[in-house]
Structure 1
Amino acid sequence: MNEFNWLKTLAASLMLLTATGTVRAVPTIDGTASVADGYTLLSTQNTDTQFGNVTNPDPIRGFGSEIDQVFGKIEGGRLYVVMAGNMETNFNKLDVYIDSVAGGMNQIDGANLPLDVDGFCCGGSGSTNGAFQNSNGLKFDAGFAADYFLSFTHGFEKLRPDLPDQLEFYAASAHYADMTQGTAGAVVSAGMQLAQRGLPQVLRGSTADFNIDGRVNGEDFLIWQRNFGAMNANRTQGDASGNGMVGGEDLATWQAAYGFDASTTPIDQNYFAPLNDVDNSNSLLGPSLLGLSQGDLIDKNYALGANGGCNVDNSGAGCLTRELEFALPVDVANDPNNTWSHRNMENTIGLQMAFDNSNIAGVNGGPDYFNPTAGDPANVTSGIEFSIPLSQIGNPAALSDIRLSLFVNNGDHNYLANQFSGEGILLGNLGGNGSGGSGAFNDLRDIDLGLFAGNQFVTLTVPALAAAASAVPEPSSLALLAFAATAIIGSRRRKS
């Protein structure tokens, strides 16, 4: 091919790439499968949840768990997934098993898999149990053999028993394990986030913020005034002290906090994440953590780095904000038994995630689990979003299939809900309705997903250029290159 023909081919190819949309958007990790993200719908399930139905649109707090839809996408050498639905803020788990390479396990064999996966769920880190041992015996559908594992959860954590209740803070966290190497497979406590939608911020508040709008002002005084003398009261009625009564001490708390604003409070002050009240988490968003982007995880490397500021002795001293201590390794000198709840988080797998728990649509809460839902799961697009490099799930070959089995599990990974990716099971919780789970063996050995109609997994095909996609220029750059190539062709023609 001569130079002129080569330039013509280049220009045409670049224009085709731009026009056909081969260059696709990289999803924003915010907990939502938006139209702009370009996700593919993989499943819509039909079974009403028996793990509680969320009716409060707060992006964090929710008293129920459900899976409505699953979306997926492969872009730039990464797998992107959205579980559209809800996860209760009680440390229930979204467990994700990935079948991405040859081999794998069709039935979980806890004796031949790594220990201590999500170790604090099941007796504490260093115990002989973990997610795999507690899920031992679970059998997947025919055609599904798990190679890798992810688990996502969120709730309200406590750092140290001797710290005040205000230091009970919100955290979403994630875990990973490689199942292809037997008991020697990698186990990763990947990290945490301290606010909703993957935002690199912390939540802040005041017990005197009675209407939970992120500010302490005259509106809160009026709430206290209207309820003065009330018994069996809560914070939304003017009880700032938490003693169940609205009295003079609550007014004193309001006076001391007057002028508070969550968005401008110092980053290491005004910790607040109450367990029993409904919060407007959007209003409780406090300062940003430097050096993090939306979707990034906080781990020990961040906490010990320049932005986190924690002392290298793992004591928690020096941390820019106290929550960062949660990501540190055990302080063997001062707390060898880890009563301070350090989690030794390290995101060695490049995982990103975001929780948006604001969904109030989708499947209903029963009690009719044996007929298709009367709800609207097809309208749900927010929930848990994550992204992981293909290199961390075995580098699946181009045009091969990645299968994912996502389901809601309890906090100990041994009591399955009735919420799965795929086609739905039209049944109550699998952990307690006669199908097994958490019985005499305290695991899942009696549950066989192959006994239920349809596949309880979804499938996504690796595109031909998945690994190279991250090197493709943006459409605007392609257009400029095409224009330049066309101009060169014109110049050549004029000279000839």
Structure 2
Amino acid sequence: MKSLCCSVSSLALLVALAAPASAAPTVDGTVDGSYGAPLAVQTVQTNFGDSTGGVTGGGELDAAYATVSGDRLYVMITGNIENNFNKLSLFIDSKAGGENTLSGGPSYDGGVSSNFAGLTFDTGFEADYHVFGRWGGAFEVDVVDRAGGACTNDCLGDFGAATVGAGTAVQSGTVLGDGNGTTSFLSSPAEFGFNNNNAAGVGGGTGAVVGDPASVTTGFEFSIALADIGSPVVGSEILIHAAYGNGDNNFHSNQILGGLAAPQDNLGGDGGGNFTGNLGGIDFNQFAGAQYFSVTVVPEPGALMIAMLAVCGFVARRRA
């Protein structure tokens, strides 16, 4: 009778766990409802040009979303990326180790990756992977394993260019294959979508946000297998830092997620807006708040159901 009670008391939970999970986002550069609320929202106007959408100039990072589904990480950064090879950089902290202060050793992206040398993240953030996107025609994305700063000319990394909509304001493609100075390591293609049609969100300048950046629904979207970013375990936090800067990685804008406190001019290479030839003078500990956001790795419903059945089976055997 007690074993039966165990089964009955667990039935409602098992039914709930067996219910279909929310659908994984469609990677097309548009926010899906499955992301939920934004994990970070921009706090300062953009001083890299306020875009009016399409293939016009200007760049901004309005809000950040992330979720884990089907053993993949999905990230959505709403806003705009100018079609002049300016870059959106996502640094991902998803396993032990990594770099709190970036080294100049890893050489990729035509060698301009070395210009990150000396950039320091908030305490507790240690970058493992670098994902960056840019366009001047077809949108291009690289994924690089920085190996804790230990790789030099032998970093692992993959590259992909848009195969749908190349050169237009709405593009998509996959990432798989050797990159610029890197050797492929992905076990399955990473996916990306880009939609540059946003004309809302933040305005231009250095002051506090005027408008509603959380209302923006288009931008850069990316998905990668958890197995390719260190296989973070259930319950762990994946930390992500997003930054917008120039193509040579030596001048950062004021568009960072998590956001900077207003008023805030472009960071430049020293955090004060000056051009120094690299980003080594930027230390995010000098700015209020956390310049990153996080998402928790959650188990798939099927895995939870199997675990609960195993527990009930164990209890039944103990009571028999």
TM range (shorter): 0.7 to 0.9
Q: Deviations over 1:406-442 (max 9, x none)?
A: 0002101111010000132421111168626641xx2
Counterparts in 2 of 1:186 and 1:344: CA distance versus 1, 3 Å: closer
1:372 aligned onto 2:208: yes
TM-score (norm 2): 0.82
Inter-partner Cα distance in structure 1 for 2:224 and 2:270: 35
Match of 2:296 among 461, 464, 469: 461
Report the Cα distance in structure 2 between the residues aligned to 1:409 and 1:345, rounded to whole angstroms.
25
Task: Work out which of the residue numbers 115, 120, 133 in structure 2 matches 1:139.
Answer: 120
Residue in structure 2 matched with residue 130 of structure 1 by the alignment: 112
Residue 160 of structure 1: aligned partner: none
**Residue 309 of structure 2 aligns with which residue?**
none
Of 168, 185, 200, the match for 1:361: 200
TM-score (ref. length: structure 1): 0.55
Identify the match of residue 238 of structure 2 among 382, 402, 405: 402
User: Contact (CA 8 Å) 1:191, 1:346: kept in 2 or not?
Assistant: no
Deviation, structure 1 residue 295: 5.3
* Cα distance in 2 between the residues matched to 1:433 and 1:472: 48
The offset of 1:194, in angstroms, is 3.5
Partner of 2:151: helix, strand, or coil?
A: helix
Q: CA RMSD in A?
A: 3.1
- Determine the C-alpha separation between the residues in 1 that align with 2:185 and 2:141: 9
Structure 2 counterpart SS, 1:358: coil
Query: 1:393 and 1:299 mapped to 2: Cα distance?
Result: 14
Give runs of aligned pairs for residues 176-255 of structure 1, distance below 5 A: 176-181=143-148, 182-183=150-151, 186-196=155-165
Query: Offset of 1:43 from its aligned partner?
Result: 0.6
Residues 299, 72 of structure 1: alpha-carbon distance in 2 compared, 3 angstrom cutoff = closer
Aligned to 2:313: none
1:381 aligns with 2:236: no
Q: Does 1:449 align with 2:284?
A: yes
Q: Aligned ranges for residues 283-362 of structure 1 at < 5 Å?
A: 296-297=173-174, 348-349=186-187, 350-362=189-201
- Give the distance between the partners of 2:290 and 2:11, measured in 1 at CA: 45
Residue 15 of structure 1 and its aligned partner are, at CA, apart by 2.4
SS across alignment from 1:429: coil
Aligned to 2:32: 34
For residues 90 and 73 of structure 1, what CA distance do their matches in structure 2 show?
30
Aligned residues of 2:142 and 2:175 also touching (Cα < 8 A): no
Q: 1:462 to 1:418 in 2, by over 3 A?
A: same
Task: Decide which structure has greater strand share.
Answer: 2
3-state SS of the aligned residue for 1:81?
Answer: strand
Distance apart, 1:376 and its partner CA = 1.5
Indicate which of 106, 109, 118 corresponds to 2:109.
118
Distance 1:344 1:458 in 2: 27
Flag the 1:85–1:434 CA change in 2: closer, same or farther, 3 A.
closer
Query: Is the CA contact 2:98–2:147 (under 8 Å) kept in the aligned structure 1?
Result: yes
Superposition pairs of residues 96-115 of structure 1, within 5 angstroms: 96-111=90-105, 114-115=106-107
Instruction: Tell me the alpha carbon deviations over residues 283-315 of structure 1, each in whole angstroms, 9 at most, x when there is no partner.
Output: xxxxxxxxxxx9541766xxxxxxxxxxxxxxx
1:292-350 alpha-carbon deviations (Å, 9 max, x no partner): xx9541766xxxxxxxxxxxxxxxxxxxxxxxxxx9x9xxxxxxxxxxxx999967353
Moved beyond 3 Å, runs of 4+: 1-14, 342-347, 468-473
Counterpart-to-counterpart distance in 1, 2:225 and 2:8: 36
Shift of 1:454: 0.9
Structure with bigger gyration radius: 1
CA–CA distance in structure 1, aligned partners of residues 31 and 303 of structure 2: 24
Distance 1:373 1:142, change over 3 A: same
Unaligned runs of at least 5 residues, structure 2: 306-320
Instruction: Name structure 1 gaps, 5 residues minimum.
Output: 120-128, 157-170, 197-201, 203-272, 274-278, 283-293, 301-326, 330-341, 474-496
Cα distance in 1 for partners of 2:175, 2:71 equals: 22
Deviation at 1:7, TM superposition (A): 7.8
